[in-house]
Amino acid sequence: MTREGIAGPEPAVSVALCIKCHKLTDAPVAVRWIESDSGPGATLYACPEHAVQLGAGPTPGDVIR
Ligand SMILES: [Zn+2]
């Protein structure tokens, strides 16, 4: 049996749009999570620089209201 196109664990996103400066970064840091009633929700990313400003760290279970 062969697994076509599968080469090990799928990496996290390698490129994402920074929610702050709206530029593509190749080192995205997850900074926000959007919860959804009908799905797994979505993760928002920022470039490393803005991730610091936005305060990367809160996890889905540690949302600050
Ligand atoms: Zn940025």
- Cα 7 to ligand 1 centre (Å): 31
Give ion ligand 1 contacts, CB < 5 A.
Answer: 18, 20-21, 47, 50
Q: In angstroms, what is the span from residue 53 Cα to ligand 1's centroid?
A: 9
| Token pair listed for 11 | 């990496």
Output the DSSP codes for 19-34.
TTT--EESS-EEEEEE
Tell me what pLDDT residue 58 has: 53
Averaged pLDDT in 10-residue chunks for the chain of 65 residues: 60 85 95 88 92 71 57
Output the CA 54–ligand 1 centroid distance in Å.
10
* Under 8 Å between Cβ of 38 and 18: no
Residue 50 confidence (pLDDT): 93
Q: pTM to 2 decimals?
A: 0.61
Tell me, in angstroms, the distance from the centre of ligand 1 to residue 17's CA: 8
